[in-house]
Amino acid sequence: MHALAAIAVSGGKPLRSEDLAYSANTSAVVIRGLLSRLREAKLTTSQLGAGGGALLAKPAEKIKLLDVYRAVEDPELFALHRTPPCENCAVGGNILAAMQPSLDRARRALEIELGKVSVADIAQEVARLGKFTIPLEW
């Protein structure tokens, strides 16, 4: 979201992975990996050459946090066991089935909430908090 919000506030100006990395206080390699996943999900595109960089593939209003979540996060919201529990145990044999309905409801609630918020919403809130207008001059 950090990279997408930065691209959104740039007002259509392509942003280099180095600039996005500086903003996120991480390495450009990490940003390029994320941008690759976002590009595969058709959320970003790249402009090559001098003055090139990452761009949103569609309007920020059309990109929901749910789209971003699905593009970059592990689909398993909750890590349950690294190895399967003992099926011969009264608890171990039933714990996963007992927990799954609650975890499924939690995942659905998260996805509903993420589907309500767009990259544009986040960019506007960043601009409000930072007391600047979009497009931000980099």
- State residue 82's pLDDT score: 81
At 46-76, the pLDDT tens digits run 999 888 999 999 999 999 999 999 999 877 7
Comparing C-alpha atoms, which of 103, 101, 109, 97 is closest to residue 78? Answer: 103
Per residue in 65-119, pLDDT tens?
A: 999 999 998 777 777 788 889 999 999 999 999 999 999 999 999 999 999 999 9
Mean pLDDT of 38-45: 97
How would you class 119 by CB atoms within 10 Å of its CB: exposed for 0-12, middle for 13-18, buried for 19 or more?
Answer: buried
Q: How far apart are CA 112 and CA 76, in angstroms?
A: 16
State residue 35's pLDDT score. Answer: 97
Which pLDDT value is given to residue 75? 74
Does the pLDDT value for residue 138 go beyond 90?
no
